């Protein structure tokens, strides 16, 4: 089945460690996105990529990094510079282009940093 | 300024009744799309319905319909015949084609509780 996978579902890290969240899609979508969601709040865009080997900062990129070496994969690294990394992270993908398309979301990763 | 505003943090509805979740938006881009997503307690985001800025008719998908009032810049979601499984958080989102690099902007969400 086509879809987006994120692993792991739950992730625990000690403060000061970098951690990488995985996101893979087999929908053949050009565009991929990373969002952060804090409890009871909406989604905030961290980074997005509209094509392989290219990505742009979203609204809250500080303390995060990404890569887009393959169309299917868009991993997110939460660095030790991120002041408050504990959150729910959602990856999404969509077709890009001149028409508007909905985003398909992965199941998310809950990151807890202590 | 907020691009997407959802003014109802929480809503209650009786099972089998209809409920309207409000969403207003702000854009100067003539080409945009409006989306509603459902987020159950598991955290996954489920796409429900889409309305394009040039669509003449309101979008419908099963029990979901979108009350699109372009002049008022509102895109309210109507859920008919509510079911217990509709209890979730609902997000309105907008994607602008020509501005904002095609990124989606999400509202803060409305938590819907369906009472038996």
Nearest-Cα distance to chain B for A66, in Å, is 17
Question: Among A100, A101, A106, A111, which would you mutate to test the B interface (most chain B Cβ atoms within 10 Å of its Cβ)?
Answer: A100
pLDDT of residue A1: 64
Question: A45 and B44: CB-CB below 8 Å?
Answer: no
- CB of A56 less than 8 A from some CB of B: yes
Nearest to B103 among A45, A90, A101 (CB): A45
* Contact indicator for B3, B26 with CB cutoff of 8 Å: yes
Both tokens of A22, joined, read 């995985």
pLDDT of residue B104: 84
Tens place of pLDDT for every residue, chain B, 116 residues? 569 999 999 999 999 999 999 999 999 989 899 999 999 999 999 999 999 999 999 999 999 999 999 999 999 999 999 999 999 999 999 988 877 666 789 999 999 999 99
Question: Among A37, A54, A102, A104, which would you mutate to test the B interface (most chain B Cβ atoms within 10 Å of its Cβ)?
Answer: A102
A24-83 per-position pLDDT tens digit: 999 999 999 999 999 888 999 999 998 999 999 999 999 999 999 999 999 999 998 888
> Which of B105, B81, B115 is CA-nearest to residue B2?
B105
- The arithmetic mean of pLDDT across residues A91-105, rounded, is 78
> Which of B98, B104, B94 is CA-nearest to residue B6?
B94
Nearest to A42 among B101, B102, B108 (CB): B108
pLDDT of residue B112: 98
Tell me the C-alpha distance between B57 and A101, whole Å.
18
> Which of A39, A37, A3 is CA-nearest to residue A23?
A3
pLDDT of residue A82: 87
pLDDT of residue A97: 58
pLDDT of residue A65: 97
């Amino acid at each position: 089945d086509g879809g987006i996978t994120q692993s792991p579902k739950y992730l625990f890290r000690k403060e000061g460690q970098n951690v990488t969240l995985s996101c893979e899609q087999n929908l053949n979508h050009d565009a991929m996105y990373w969002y952060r969601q804090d409890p009871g709040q909406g989604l905030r865009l961290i980074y997005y990529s509209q094509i392989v080997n290219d990505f742009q900062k979203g609204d809250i990129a500080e303390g995060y990094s990404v890569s887009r070496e393959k169309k299917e994969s868009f991993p997110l690294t939460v660095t030790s510079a991120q002041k408050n990394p504990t959150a729910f992270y959602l990856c999404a993908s969509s077709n890009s282009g001149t028409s508007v398309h909905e985003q398909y979301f992965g199941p998310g990763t809950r990151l807890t940093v202590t | 300024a907020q691009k997407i505003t959802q003014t109802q943090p929480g809503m209650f509805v009786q099972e089998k009744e209809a409920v309207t979740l409000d969403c207003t938006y702000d854009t100067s881009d003539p080409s945009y799309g409006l989306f509603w997503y459902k987020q159950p307690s598991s955290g996954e985001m489920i796409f429900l319905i889409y309305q394009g800025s040039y669509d003449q008719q309101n979008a419908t998908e099963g029990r979901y319909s979108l009350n699109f009032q372009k002049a008022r810049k509102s895109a309210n979601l109507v859920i008919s015949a509510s079911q217990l499984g509709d209890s979730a958080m609902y997000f309105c989102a907008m994607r602008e084609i020509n501005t904002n690099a095609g990124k989606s902007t999400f509202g803060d969400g409305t938590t819907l509780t369906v009472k038996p």
